Amino acid sequence: MNVGALRKALDRREISAVELATYYLDRIAQLDPQLKAFITVPRAEVLQMAAAADRRIATQEDVTALTGIPVAIKDNICTEGIRTTCASRLLADFYPIYDATVVAKLKQAGAVLLGKTNLDEFAMGSTTKESFYGLTRNPWDRQRVAGGSSGGSAVAVAAGMAPLALGSDTGGSIRQPAAFCGVWGLKPTYGRVSRYGLVPYAPSFDQIGPMARSGWDLFLLFRGIAGYDPLDPTSLPASVEAEGDLSGSIRGLRVGLPREFFGAGLDGRIKERVLAVAKVLAEAGCELMELSLPSMAYALPAYYLLAYAEASSSMARYDGVRYGIREGAEQGIVGMMTATRQSLGLEVKRRILLGTYFLSADCYEECYQQAQKVRTWMKQDFAAAYSRCDLLLTPTTAAPAFRIEGEAEDEPVLALTEQYTVAANLTGNPALSFPCGWINHLPVGAQLMGPAGTDELLLRVAAVYTENAPGEAVPERTARDVGEQIEV
Amino acid sequence: MWVSKLRYETVIGLEVHVELKTKAKLWCGCSTQFGTEPNTQVCPVCLGLPGGLPLLNKKAVEFALTTGLALNCVLADHCRFDRKHYFYPDLPKGYQITQFYQPIGREGWLEVEFADGPRRVRIKEIHLEEEAGRTYHLPSGPDGVASSLLDYNRSGIPLLEIVTAPELSSPAEARIFLEELKAVLECLEVSDAKMEEGSFRCDANLSVRRPGEKLGKRVELKNLNSFRAIEAGLVYEEKRQRELLAQGEPLPYEEVRTWDEEKGITVYMREKEQAADYRYFPEPEIPPFAIAGEWVETLRTNLPELPLEKRRRYREEYRLSATDAALLSRRKAEANFFEATLQKYQGSAQTVANWILGELTRLMKEEKAEVTNLQFSAEDFAALLQLQDQKVISSKIAKAVLEEMFRTGTKPAVIIEERGWQQITDPNIIKTLVRETVVANPAAVQDYLGGKQKAFAFFAGDVMRKSKGRVNPELLNEILQAELERHRSVGNSGYQSDRQ
């Protein structure tokens, strides 16, 4: 059932929020031992929130679209009193003293926080293998990765363990697992969703976003979390439509197909699926055009440089002094900090080291400043493209979900999974991944990008595609259920 | 060993850290109040908890701009911040947010009146940054073992760093400069600038050289916690370096030394880092913003008269002594009260200054009061001085009246009326009083006639005592003298016979 149907069932008292929460808790208990989408599921708190939602529904006071609806939260988003680990051993006992703004908003809307989902440690990775709490498996093929870093949220939604989930996206961390798992994921315009309470990885790229099984569900969650937040200095003053839907004509929209996203390295079958999306859009009245974004040649190196540089800085606060685990306390201040930081995983250490090097006096001008120039160029390059077209259609990833062992051990393959997604983070523009078909049993995702503030437009276009797409292309309209794969 | 002062030049540069007195911290709403219970003024932001974000307090920028204007700086057109990385437990984020690439002000100067005349000391830059918390190292902590305790109340308080060019040529000049700077900051009301509370701190760099030679290796001095310590520490270090140079052993490397207040010496701490790599980069969480020209112009228009200008005006316009001009101009509230009094007062400015710096200051100190919350107005104060000038009351009575005004806020004329404290200026009354005492003390009359001046003072004192100080002193002197001299001319016989 989609969220709209759940809403109706709740409002008509056909089901209570407690019953709904219990259903998902049971589903988690059934499936998650194999999938490992969740790190923490605070059953008692979940049922309390659900009971509170039932009281709101009973009195019809302040019932919102999300009242009583369970939402899974990526475990790098702070939840007051509920453990927030960032999938790191270092924060194994970190219980935040405050709620992230998105969490506060969801609570205020009456949503039921279902649990904290798995991720690559501190969101640094694109597999959800780099978690201290165990790797998350792709529900469509358990030998394959879920993608990452929001792999836990993607799997929770894909496997029906949660109707909605929050992820975070620094270089593709919402869109890539969404594509791998056959769900919808939006990386909003930078600043439209508050980052207050999001544990930073690379703050000039990080953005919290919604994940769901349909465009409409995604839209509901986006409306629930977006909006200006005075606690976030990078928050945009733009308001969010409280009402409205995703219908409406997309006739006349100019959809660009940038050459750099369809070149070498792209799986031909994915190319085919995405071009099929273009065809459906053209039939719905969109005007297709090919164009070129030359700055894309430098997107990946610039992204790694800047993101790792910021990561090394973001990670400097974990010293064992104020929170998290503390080790080597008997070895003096430096000894303690060193020992404590030893508990970080290899991938995090690798990024800290590289980032530290990129910021060092020897390298700053050659590395960091050059990468900033690329970033500026990319913003201009994309702005120029958006003066010719309204939005861009690309694949989300170059290949479907790869095997857990083998295939993606080396950098190049991993990098390929990010090459189409980092542009939106470098430019701060919104990008949406939505399902557009299959390669055998593995889902394929298409990506729509647009200029800042076009988040809703992207959703609308993808929704029109989904309505007009052949049934087979859309997971929610197929008979397939991840349960089949799991129970085999 | 004796070293000729003429053979060496001392070069001193200062780095001053000033806590800005905004109500809230630089990035969050936590209070900046000093001296509260540890870790009671903290939140996710100033504790550096994951997910906390810095929200710039514009008031701190305003204070920094105001200071930049007063120090004649070229102000930045954009406000930007950078991260400076280093690890220390009282630095909660592992980096300090500061202004490295674009300080808010640069290339300024402050004019200071040194012993050999006024001179502009160049300010290299001023920049805004955040305070760290405080670490307390205990030899024996709660468990009886050595431990460190952390207080983050200070973490995130806005700090302005002011860096001078190396242009001060003696420890005394360093102190005079700092006193002037402190006075400017107080006058601008941007900082409490209290060394004892750590809201005004100074590190000093000192080197010596032979005239004409390039700058020598410098020593950075820390732990200079009072003006006295700054001067004493620099004097010690200057002497030490001169002696080393005289012995042909210039400093081998730059070092950091700490001032040991008890022993009165500087102690080696560490070699100055070759070039510590703080991995500065632009703070990604605080978008740069343009500093509006109108904003700066408004601040410029609202700049108060600075201490040096005021001091000069007090000397030139009001003819105050240099010391009094300096004292008054340094204290803004007192200076305002001084000028308000002068508006209503016809007498000399020096009289007003004497009363403010003397009697009024004494009363305020005793009662721990401030000039801003006195019970009486500057107008009342002027009236009091006027009454004294008109000889309605003596200066002694005037002091008593002031005390009464200070306690109750009653108008001086009312106090004098109620207490009957008007001066006695009627010669007949004074003559009667004088005669009484002269008749009662024949021996003292003899003493006086015998040439003992003390006897005159005795009679005058007696009359004052009996009149409760109300007799006009000049008239009393006149009449008493006349009366005593009358005895000389009358001859001694009558009195002598009385005595026999």
A150 is catalytic: no
- To the nearest whole percent, how much of chain A has pLDDT over 70? 93
pLDDT band at A295 (very low <50, low <70, confident <90, very high): very high
Cis bond before residue A149 (omega within 30° of 0)? yes
pLDDT recorded at residue B326: 87
CA distance A357 to B65: 35
In the set A16, A88, A126, A149, the catalytic residue is: A149
Q: Is B26 exposed, middle or buried (0-12, 13-18, 19+ CB in 10 A)?
A: buried
pLDDT band at A65 (very low <50, low <70, confident <90, very high): very high
Mean pLDDT of A36-64: 96
Q: Measured on CA atoms in the order A468, A470, A472, A477, is the torsion positive or negative?
A: positive
Which residues of A make CB contacts under 8 Å with B?
A: 77-78, 84, 86, 91, 94, 96-98, 100, 195-200, 202-204, 230-234, 309-310, 312-313, 315-319, 321-323, 333-334, 337, 356, 359-361, 364, 368
Locate B22 and state its tokens. Answer: 């905004």
In the set A36, A74, A105, A129, the catalytic residue is: A74
Lowest mean pLDDT among A166-175, A270-279, A337-346, B394-403: B394-403
Q: For residue B7, give the nearest of B335, B332, B320, B247 by alpha carbon.
A: B247
Q: Would you say B11 and B215 are in contact if contact means Cβ atoms under 8 Å apart?
A: yes
pLDDT band at B395 (very low <50, low <70, confident <90, very high): confident
- To the nearest whole percent, how much of chain B has pLDDT over 70? 96
Mean pLDDT of A66-73: 98
pLDDT tens-place string over residues A322-379: 999 999 888 888 899 999 999 999 999 999 999 999 999 889 999 999 999 999 999 9
Q: Which chain A positions have a beta carbon within 8 Å of B286's beta carbon?
A: 233
Q: For residue B103, give the nearest of B70, B69, B64, B132 by alpha carbon.
A: B64
Q: Measured on CA atoms in the order B471, B477, B481, B484, is the torsion positive or negative?
A: positive
Does the pLDDT of residue B372 top 50, yes or no?
A: yes
pLDDT recorded at residue B1: 45
- To the nearest whole percent, how much of chain B has pLDDT over 90? 46
Residue of A75, A338, A359, A368 to mutate, testing the B interface (most B Cβ within 10 Å of its Cβ): A359
Does the pLDDT of residue A407 top 60, yes or no?
A: no
Q: Would you say A460 and A194 are in contact if contact means Cβ atoms under 8 Å apart?
A: no
Mean pLDDT of A118-132: 95
pLDDT tens-place string over residues B286-317: 999 999 999 999 999 999 999 999 999 999 98
pLDDT tens-place string over residues B224-240: 989 999 999 999 999 99
pLDDT band at B328 (very low <50, low <70, confident <90, very high): confident
- What domains can you pick out in chain A, each with its CATH number? 3-255+396-487 (3.90.1300.10), 297-372 (no CATH)
> What is the enclosing helix (H) or strand (E) of B473?
helix B473-490
pLDDT band at B493 (very low <50, low <70, confident <90, very high): very low
pLDDT band at A269 (very low <50, low <70, confident <90, very high): very high
pLDDT tens-place string over residues A99-114: 999 999 999 999 999 9
- What domains can you pick out in chain B, each with its CATH number? 5-293 (no CATH), 305-419 (no CATH), 427-499 (1.10.10.410)
Does the pLDDT of residue B3 top 70, yes or no?
A: no
Contact A361 B275 (CB under 8 A): yes
Does the pLDDT of residue B152 top 80, yes or no?
A: yes
Secondary structure string (H, E, C) spanning chain A: CCHHHHHHHHHCCCCCHHHHHHHHHHHHHHHHHHHCCEEECCHHHHHHHHHHHHHHHHHCCCCCCCCCCEEEEECCECECCECCCCCCCCCCCCCCCCCCHHHHHHHHHCCEEEEEECCCHHHCCCCCCCCCCCCCEECCEEEEECCCCCHHHHHHHHCCCCCEEEEEECCCCCHHHHHHHCCEEEECCCCCECCCCECCCCCCCCEEEEEECCHHHHHHHHHHHECCCCCCCCCCCCCCCCCCCCCCCCCCCEEEEEHHHCCCCCCHHHHHHHHHHHHHHHHCCCEEEEECCHHHHHHHHHHHHHHHHHHHHHHHHCCCCCCCCCCCHHHHHHHHHHHHHCCCCHHHHHHHHHHHHHHCCCCCHHHHHHHHHHHHHHHHHHHHHHHHCCEEEEECCCCCCCECCCCCCCHHHHHHCCCCCHHHHHHCCCEEEEEEEEECCEEEEEEEECCCCCHHHHHHHHHHHHHHCCHHHCHHHCCCCHHHHHHC
A483 vs B394, higher pLDDT: B394
pLDDT tens-place string over residues A151-189: 999 999 999 999 999 999 999 999 999 999 999 999 999
Does the pLDDT of residue A442 top 70, yes or no?
A: yes
pLDDT tens-place string over residues B427-447: 888 888 888 888 888 888 888
